[in-house]
Structure 1
Amino acid sequence: MNLQNKNKFVFFEDFERTCYDTVVDRSQIPYLHYPKPKTFNRSECDGNPVRLFAIVSMQRSGSGWFETLLNSHINVSSNGEIFGPKSRRDNASSIIETLDKVYNLDWLTSSSKNECSAAIGFKWMLNQGLMQHPKEIVHYFNDRGVNVIFLLRRNMLRRLVSILANAYDKDAKLLNGVHVSHVHSAEEASLLSKYKPKINITSLKSDLRGMESTAVKALDYFNSTRHIIIYYEDLIKDPAEKLIEVEDFLKLPQMNLTSQQVKIHKGALSEHIENWEEVNKTLSGTAYEKFLQADY
């Protein structure tokens, strides 16, 4: 009998496998990512996990100040309002494409730290496509393990004052002929706060109701995501405590977070509204009366 030897070759496919540090909480593994950016090499930080986040907010709710605080953390890169341009939020596909680019560390801005960033994210206003495609975005956030930071205001009357004042300055350009949404000195804040908007009392209650309704809907839409809710009023009152909550939420080492931004409208609302008496009369005895006396 002739025995014919047959050589058998076993091919081993080379593949990458993420090794998790034994000290990592296993429940956090779905939120740890190891991006492979196309625009640069993470080199020695290739094995360092990155957490993904989105600051979900509304215009004139303190998100600019909050983001500068986060970006003062050496391990955080938050890239601003990336969905400002409509082309990036035309449809769900363009939104997902943009998200992929950001979370793969291929969205390069002045806020980008380095290849060793431990948390990467951006600001997303509720009127920038987020409320139009909640189902697709929630699915993406849950699938990718995106951490959602809601930054909202309780006092929508103060938000309305800020919106109207900011809109006025876009044309008036009170600060040396230049429009700015945020300031960095008490002198600049004092100059901008001199303008007192006149509020439309006919639509005031409806406007406030609409703002609150939008915030409630957003919280409902994204309730299934891993999220934290931070209110601007609480952040103003005790920034250190609230920022520690955010650092813990993102599993970041605690640092002293700072910002150069200065609050524009301080003190009683009566000092910042031209037709204060009308506003006070319109809201007194309603569910929005509480907004009238809240000072900070």
Structure 2
Amino acid sequence: MPIYLSSHHLKMDEEICFFKQDTLVIKAPKKTPLILRMVVLLFTMICGVYICLVCLKQINTHKKMIKFLNFKVINHDNESCHDPYLEQWEVPYVHYPKPQTFERNECACNPVRYFAILSMQRSGSGWFETLLNSHINLSSNGEIFSVEDRRRNVSSILKNMDKVYNLDWFSSASKNQCSAAVGFKWMLNQGLMENHEEIVKYFKKRGVSAIFLFRRNLLRRMISVLANSYDKDAKQLNGTHKSHVHSPLEAQILATYKPKLNAALLIPQLKQDEATAAKAMQYFKTTRHIVVYYEDVINNKTTLNEVQEFLRLPCRELKSRQVKIHTTPVSNQIQNWEDVQKTLQGTSYESFLADYEMSSAALL
């Protein structure tokens, strides 16, 4: 028997059908494969590690910046002392020492230049140093490496130089607090030549200028060396030895000794002295330096001004109390003058025989 549905029933059936269709559309999707999940997880881990590394790098950079800023603050005092009118090349040679033994106080911003007088015995270096020390702004602390223990090795040499340039070296010439130039005298045979490589590096690192002081007439230097060596034993001045004197009477007594020169070894010795001076200048040619000759200091009034300008000091009239010992012609200062004269005539050293070297009133 056929069943007849009313329109109301048909409508309900249609709604049921549509509901079922909707239910099919919104059913849950299939599960994600395991491999895909692992890939996503791995990618997430890599991103996390990368972010951590970036953060750590930023932290380290921040710390370095802090250290750099701290360094700048530590040196701020020196920067505040900087002279804006300095030429660029001068900057490495201008210093503001901070000594450990005293405070510079109001002189803390006074710029200081470092120097060393490099010379050979009996070349007028003692007289030259007293002239420099008569300048109110300069301290030259003498022949500090004449003491063997101070030059026993490179470390000892550098340690003692540090003490001088830090203004912690005290001598009768020290004007430490407000010095504008500080240094000392150094003979070539006092560890200078043997350790020249390390010393050149030190001079460059600390901005030390070299003043070479030599004597052109090496024959007169030889006479002075022999006479001084003789007096060490003879002690002609009331039983005392003096390398330098301050009265004409003392000079006259020391000048009475006339050494006898070995004519056969004379030229080789003169050549050796020349070679030593030339080698020293070769070793230190890359340092800032000036070459001064004893005879020029005696006869040329502008030479001392050139030295003061080299040290960037205001020019002053420089004086010394030292008195020249040998004032007579060279022919009167040697026992075997005829042998010496015969040996040097016709050689490149013949000019050393000249009687005139300097004014007899000059100081040594």
Q: Give the drift of 1:294.
A: 5.1
User: What is residue 256 of structure 1 aligned with on the other side?
Assistant: 317
Aligned match of 1:222 in 265, 276, 284? Answer: 284
Question: Counterparts of 2:298 and 2:318 in 1: how far apart (Å)?
Answer: 14
Task: State the TM-score, normalized to the length of structure 2.
Answer: 0.77
User: What is residue 272 of structure 1 aligned with on the other side?
Assistant: 333
Q: Give the drift of 1:113.
A: 1.1
1:29 and 2:91 matched: yes
* 3-state SS, counterpart of residue 202 of structure 1: helix
Which piece of structure 1 moves more, 56-65 or 166-175?
Answer: 166-175
Aligned match of 1:185 in 230, 235, 247? Answer: 247
User: What is residue 5 of structure 1 aligned with on the other side?
Assistant: none
Question: Counterparts of 1:27 and 1:221 in 2: how far apart (Å)?
Answer: 22
* 3-state SS, counterpart of residue 146 of structure 2: coil
User: What is residue 74 of structure 2 aligned with on the other side?
Assistant: 15
Aligned match of 1:157 in 206, 219, 223? Answer: 219
1:293 and 2:327 matched: no
* 3-state SS, counterpart of residue 124 of structure 1: strand
Larger radius of gyration: 2
Which piece of structure 1 moves more, 90-99 or 46-55?
Answer: 90-99
User: What is residue 39 of structure 1 aligned with on the other side?
Assistant: 101
Question: Counterparts of 1:236 and 1:21 in 2: how far apart (Å)?
Answer: 35
Query: Aligned runs of 1:62-141 on 2, under 5 Å?
Result: 62-141=124-203
Unaligned runs of 5+ in 2: 1-64, 359-364
Letter in 2 for 1:202: A
Equivalenced residue count is 286
Name the structure with the higher helix share: 2
* 3-state SS, counterpart of residue 264 of structure 2: coil
Question: Counterparts of 2:261 and 2:211 in 1: how far apart (Å)?
Answer: 30
1:1-51 per-residue CA deviation (whole Å, 9 max, x = no partner) reads: xxxxxxxxx977342322312222232111001111011111111111110
Question: Counterparts of 1:288 and 1:255 in 2: how far apart (Å)?
Answer: 36
Question: Counterparts of 2:134 and 2:278 in 1: how far apart (Å)?
Answer: 30
1:148-197 per-residue CA deviation (whole Å, 9 max, x = no partner) reads: 00000111100000000001111111112211000112221111111100
* 3-state SS, counterpart of residue 136 of structure 1: helix
Question: Counterparts of 1:277 and 1:269 in 2: how far apart (Å)?
Answer: 12
Q: Contact 2:211 / 2:291 at 8 angstroms: preserved in 1?
A: yes
* 3-state SS, counterpart of residue 252 of structure 2: helix
User: What is residue 147 of structure 1 aligned with on the other side?
Assistant: 209
Task: State the TM-score, normalized to the length of structure 1.
Answer: 0.94
Letter in 2 for 1:206: P
User: What is residue 210 of structure 1 aligned with on the other side?
Assistant: 272
Letter in 1 for 2:233: D
Q: Give the drift of 1:144.
A: 1.0
Q: Contact 2:101 / 2:168 at 8 angstroms: preserved in 1?
A: yes
1:247 and 2:308 matched: yes
1:244-283 per-residue CA deviation (whole Å, 9 max, x = no partner) reads: 0000000000111100001111231001001101100111
Aligned match of 2:262 in 194, 200, 203? Answer: 200
Unaligned runs of 5+ in 1: 1-9
Tell me the C-alpha RMSD between the 2 structures.
1.3
Q: Contact 2:331 / 2:355 at 8 angstroms: preserved in 1?
A: no
Question: Counterparts of 1:209 and 1:134 in 2: how far apart (Å)?
Answer: 21
- Point out which structure has higher relative CO (alpha carbons under 8 A, 6+ apart): 1
Question: Counterparts of 2:355 and 2:99 in 1: how far apart (Å)?
Answer: 46
User: What is residue 4 of structure 1 aligned with on the other side?
Assistant: none
Which piece of structure 1 moves more, 107-116 or 71-80?
Answer: 107-116
* 3-state SS, counterpart of residue 198 of structure 2: helix
* 3-state SS, counterpart of residue 212 of structure 2: strand
Q: 1:153 to 1:294 in 2, by over 3 A?
A: farther
Letter in 2 for 1:257: L
